[in-house]
Amino acid sequence: MRGSFLGFQGCLERRRPPLRTLTIGDGAPVKWVARTKQETHTTHRRNADLTAIRASAGRAFRSGVASETRTAAGRPWLAPGICQKKQETRTAAGRPWLALCICPQKRRGERAVTAHQIVPFTDPALRTVAQHVTTFDKELRELVKSLTLTLRAGAGRAGLAAPQLGVPLRVFAFSLDGRAGHIVNPRLETSERTVVADEACLSAAGIWWPLERSFSVTARGRDMFGKPVTVRAVGLLARVLQHEADHLDGMLFSDRLAPEEREKFLAQV
């Protein structure tokens, strides 16, 4: 047996006929049924093993690895995912079997969260001043998850504010150089030192323009559970936090450009 569960099926293919059914549950037996009843085998795994399986599958899901793969014998199968929803597929020989699908885990009573379309730069919704969050409920958690998923859905994305998804609430998410998170009702303290660097907006992707911003910033607010959060940043991450905070005030980064530069920028949007 290989070191990870993702190699489990490949090892089994070399020793046994193709699988028909595979079920996994917390503390329950892991069973596989071969072509003949005599080849039935059952084993038990502890909860710690199941947790490791889900963590491995979760890393594969977050890194964008495709859920479908193939065994050593060339037969397609689906790797175990984060949840335990079963979906049917077929082997190369056309025989059906069940595998765990790869999809985000959600708590009971919560809707599935997916990435959303980003509001374009010229949309009037981006000019709306976002409202303060007063209730830290599951709808807020779903919003934060949507921001995070949308942020991770494309390469080079560093920050995203709720108004960019059409939600007028003071929430934004960020992810840059290994630092990721979100802030609800943020308050920024900027430094007097400034620096000029190229800046862009996901609502006008691909258009970069030099802009002067504070070099360092301290952002304070709450997380999606209402706990206090403080983020101190310098350089590019500080620029990202200032950019997203502007969105919450209905301001676009082009508003900070000189009139001549603003006209040149808007001509390309």
CA 206 to chain centre: 21
Question: Is residue 44 marked as binding?
Answer: no
Question: Is residue 116 marked as binding?
Answer: no
**Is residue 244 among the annotated active site residues?**
yes
Angle at 114 between CA 23 and CA 202, to 5 degrees: 145
Which of the following is catalytic: 39, 139, 244, 263?
244
Contact predicate 260/267, CB 8 Å: no
CA 174 to chain centre: 11
SS3 186: strand
Contact predicate 232/218, CB 8 Å: yes
Buried b (16+ CB within 10 A) or exposed e, 42-81: eeebeeeebeebbeebeebbeeeeebeeebeeebebbbbb
Give the C-alpha separation, 214 to 262, whole Å: 20
Q: What's the chain's Rg over C-alpha atoms?
A: 24
Question: Is residue 132 marked as binding?
Answer: no
Annotated binding site for Fe cation: 201, 243, 247
Which active-site residues does the annotation give? 244
Please give the annotated binding residues, written as ranges.
201, 243, 247
